[in-house]
Structure 1
Amino acid sequence: MGEKYIFKWANDSINEVFKPLWLNDTTYHLSNHINAEVSWYETLDLSTKISLISLVISILTFFAGFIISEFIRRHNKSHNLKQYKQFINEWVEKSNATLIDYINSLETFSNKIKTNTDLNIAPWRSGIIHLSEINKIPLEKFSDIYIFGLSKKIENENRKQIMNFLYQIEYLNKAPTLIMEVYNKYCENNQRVMDEWNTYYMQLLDLFGSTKTINPQTIEGSVFLEIYKLFIPLINTSDGEYAGTDKWKNEFVIPAINILTRKECSDFSILAQIMILVRNLNIVIIKHDKLNNYSRVFDSYVENLKKAQLIINNSMSYFDGKEIRHFCI
């Protein structure tokens, strides 16, 4: 019995001593691994250790440099976008005045030709829309500023607003050329009408120059002089200005046609010639009146330009309260 007791006591004592090692087998192996690593490093000679340390420092320096460079790049980009945003805002503010002048001049011209009776071409002081500076900004810069660069990002609305802005800028770029093409066409047609008028007018003037050979006692002579008396006041106006198409129509063309449509007038050659020329003048007046319909085209451009200006200003007002992020990607 004594020997069994002594053996059991010895066995329990051994278990108590080695129990922590059995429970921490993983720790034991990890410790062995670390010791092996340390032993591996300690086996290196000094030059190898220095090279290894230099490599680690180089890698750390590279990553630190990359992080610093990226920080500086993003900060600089943010500053750059802020400058562009400020420039665009200033351009919109300053261009409003010139755009208003352009629109007003076009509107004034359009109103003038609505009821124009002057055979001469109506003048138009077109003005200039200053777009050269805003056109220098690349398209991607607008997306960098107003879609990706804003601190308060509502991308769908931001995208909608900046696209509206850009569409109107594109329209402002094209509109003056299109308007000038219409104006030039108007001038060409007006010149053609004026040339026709001058042709028939000069022929009438030549016919009325033969009054000395006309016998006022005859039917031919009396009708001739009656029409001649309608003609003279319009070429010798009291104010020295050339009579408009409305006066020519109401005070000469219509009365002359009414006189010359008498049956007996068709029997006389000179009266027949006058009738042809008067009717031709009437056709020219109708053509001239139709030229005034160009005002509808100019009115549509005026309306579109006003809408473009309103949309541009509204878009910039929308972006006014939105700041560029401090660090842009």
Structure 2
Amino acid sequence: MPARRPTMTDIAKQAGVSQSTVSLVLNDVPGTKVSPATRELVLAIARDISYPLVRHVRSSAAPARNLILYLTDELATSPHAMQTIDGATNTAWEHDCLVTVFATRSDPEREAAILAQMLAHPALLGVIYATIFTRAATIPAVLREVPTVLLNCHARDHAMPSVVPGEVLGGFAATMHLVEAGHRRIGFINGEPWLEAAAERLKGYRQALTTADIPYDAALVRQGDWQVGSGFEQASALLALADPPTALFCANDLMAVGAIDAARKLELDIPGRLSVVGYDDQDMARYFHPPLTTVLLPNGEMGRWAAETVIAQARAGVPGRRHHIKMECPLVVRDSVAPPAPR
């Protein structure tokens, strides 16, 4: 079995310094405040454990390429962006790489300016190009000349490696969980239908009904806007029907919270009188009362896959394969689902 390649983590442990300090020394980053003694200690340990210094020490001839540009349209609209960034940065660190993050705010001029600066950076290894909403994206032509992976989006011609959530199977799993609990009147509160995620979660819902030989009833499907208020409003309308649903599948956890609030206003016990399933697995889902059954968006895993793929592509020196990955969205079973109550 081949010996494990030494890493910056090994050096940091032996030197008693942070991994960031090791990276600054080995990459000879100018302007850093590292004492000469610490610098010499780090370099001595690196030589002792046969760490490949040539690849990491700066030189005018061949600067180290260990920087990944993470370019996204938005950061602050939800926690999902930070989860994918965490997955990417942690994986990059394991490969002795660093990630720098820029948000364009969907401004083409800002995007072009960032790319002009970063693609000229001597340490740039590759690019992760991300979007906050899953969609087909128009990819800047210049990225076709650089190792690039698309995260939560895909090119229309699938010319670049990309990873998105498997939303159809996520919607299918959520609905089938309610079917298997005995429900046949299952309401669905979706987000805006023009979003790819909403369209695919609806497709999964309908496929599960078809699998269970349950007729699709358009009256049980309502459109929300991903916010708590719309979950409350649409759930209230569904529960006011002459033949109301015994279960609700909400296309995100925020709308599920609104739906539960609507049920409680009507004094319907959750899950005794109404079962509820959400989507996203936000932190609040596990702390709600009862804890919410939901579907996990694999943001961290997508970030890890993107970083691993762009690093492998760059270090191999060949274009990435044209593969479009749909990552599993697993069901997280908690306490908000039970068999339907007798009529």
Bigger RCO (CA 8 Å, 6+ sep) = 1
TM norm. shorter chain > 0.5: no
Whose helix fraction is larger, Structure 1's or Structure 2's? 1
TM-score w.r.t. length of structure 2: 0.23
TM-score (norm 1): 0.24
